[in-house]
Amino acid sequence: MTSTTRARRAFWGDVRFLIGVALVILSIVGVWLIVSSARQTTPMLQADRTIALGEALVSDDFRVVEVSLGSATTDYLAPQDLQPGLVAARTVSDGELLPVAATAAAESARTTSIVVESSVGIPESVTVGTSVELWFAPLTNEGEGFDDPRILVADVVVASLPETDGMLAQKSTAVELVIDRADVADVLAAMTSGASLSVVPLGSAS
């Protein structure tokens, strides 16, 4: 009887030992898989400059970087995913990976760009990609002055800031804005009527 009991204890002891060894091996394998997965990188597109809303997405504006994104890989564009006809659905910052959600087909874009002259110059804080308001002061009925300024378009994005040529090159008062197509007629009407236009960074108006 004693021999049988000891045999059973020895058997269960061996089983527990084997289970412990198996658990250690599984733990080591799991850690190895996690580390290996973390070391795996995928080539992705990273913006070389700030790309404004509505701009065409072309390979010259991106560099290829190796990154580890895990399951988020499908949320961003790889080099082979950048197809002709894509535009920025929002501003993409310099150094930002290109998200799929920040791209759209050019045919579906509801924006266009237009160059306006700001009567009060361009604030230093305004750069490509900055969101601004476009204000205007229409001519009075007598044509000898301007009425009180008011907002013409509440939220537009700066696409570019042209610079003057020459030895003393500096920022001009012209600015290229990305605007909704529905607002184009109002902006053109203000420009052709001789109204005074001003570009104001969001949050700067009192």
Task: Provide the residue ranges of all domains of the chain, joining segments of one domain with +.
Answer: 42-107, 110-201
Closest to 93 (Cα-Cα) out of 134, 130, 56: 130
Q: How far, in Å, CA of 113 to CA of 184, rounded?
A: 9
Give residue 115's pLDDT. Answer: 92
Q: How far, in Å, CA of 104 to CA of 58, rounded?
A: 13
What tokens were used for 41?
């990188």
Give residue 168's pLDDT. Answer: 45
User: Around Cβ 90, how many Cβ atoms within 10 Å?
Assistant: 16
Give residue 166's pLDDT. Answer: 46
Give residue 142's pLDDT. Answer: 73
Give residue 33's pLDDT. Answer: 61
Q: Which fold has domain 42-107?
A: Type Iii Antifreeze Protein Isoform Hplc 12 (3.90.1210)
Give residue 28's pLDDT. Answer: 78
**87 pairs with which residues across the strands?**
56, 104
Q: How far, in Å, CA of 56 to CA of 106, rounded?
A: 8
pLDDT < 50 positions in the chain: 165-169, 205-206
Asked whether the beta carbons of 199 and 187 are under 8 A apart, the reply is: no
